[in-house]
Structure 1
Amino acid sequence: MVSLVDPATVNLLTLALDATAMRQHAIAQNIANVNTPGYQRLGVGFESRMEELKAAAARGAGKAGLAEFRPVFELAPDEAVTLETEMVALSENTLHHQALLKALNKQMALMSVAINEGKR
């Protein structure tokens, strides 16, 4: 049986959306502490492991198998926190989040069509 919605794609999109939500939180923390002496920039580790994540999803790893790839907060002590840098990061993250939502919505629209067409 052919599936219209690829579970691996949905799982990857879900993890990526989790990363953008966490990144939004990290950016907010960085902006709030931009003038705090000794503050270490907060980031999110996720994209660096994307190739491993894609390979795991291709092998058919479900949500449980992808748990080790969940995004995590990371300190970046060598990076200076500036308002300009954080605002750019905020804009990029917002665009990334919107693109991921569109992709997930397309996957769910396929499922909706399959369900609704079956009711006739």
Structure 2
Amino acid sequence: MLESVTSKALESALDGLSMRQKAIANNIANINTPGYTAERVSFEDALAASVKNGNGSVEATISRSLEPTNTNGNNVNLDTETLSNTTTVLQYQFATQAESQQLTAVRAVLKDG
């Protein structure tokens, strides 16, 4: 397939959002695990810089949350995870729709080409 900055950026975004969904699920699964600190996935700033530089490809990174912990050393907050999950699902849906539209445009060009 044609490798445009847009297609690379969408692929990077989908990979990062997928990784974030897995981290959120892992956080919720460990909500009662003593000493567990929530995972956070970052890629948006790096992706924006990469697109600005004409590339579009980035790798998401996972870090541990620095938010305060409760008495058992765990810092997973169900409200935070639920909100993050909702946002991530919506972003993923938007990115998949954008990628689908891009593929439809490429197919149309190849068909008429």
- Superposition TM-score, scaled by structure 1 size: 0.79
Residues in 1 aligned to 2:80 and 2:61: alpha-carbon distance in whole angstroms? 20
Name the SS of the counterpart of 1:44 in structure 2: strand
Secondary structure, counterpart of 2:40 in structure 1: strand
Is 1:46 the counterpart of 2:43? The answer is yes
Identify unmatched segments of 5+ residues in structure 1.
Answer: none
In the other structure, the counterpart of 2:71 is: none
Deviation at 1:87, TM superposition (A): 1.1
> Residue 45 of structure 2 aligns to which amino acid in structure 1?
S
Give runs of ≥4 in structure 1 deviating > 2 Å. 48-51, 77-80
Question: Which whole-Å CA distance do the structure 1 matches of 2:92 and 2:49 have between them?
Answer: 21
1:83 matches 2:78: yes
1:102 aligned to which of 97, 101, 112: 97
What is residue 88 of structure 2 aligned with on the other side? Answer: 93
SS at match of 1:113: helix
The separation in 2 between residues aligned to 1:114 and 1:51, in whole angstroms, is: 28
1:112 is matched with 107
Per the alignment, residue 22 of structure 2 pairs with 25
> Per chain length, whose mean CA-contact separation is higher, i.e. which structure has more relative contact order (CA < 8 Å, sep 6+)?
1
Q: Matched residue pairs, number? A: 106
Counterparts of 1:96 and 1:14, CA distance in 2: 13
Please give the secondary structure, in 1, of the residue aligned with 2:53. helix
Quote how far apart the aligned CAs of 1:81 are: 1.1
Letter in 1 for 2:25: A
RMSD: 1.8
Identity of aligned residues (%): 30
Q: How far has the Cα of 1:6 moved from its partner?
A: 7.0
**2:12–2:47 Cα contact (<8 Å) kept:** no
Amino acid of the residue matched to residue 33 of structure 1? N
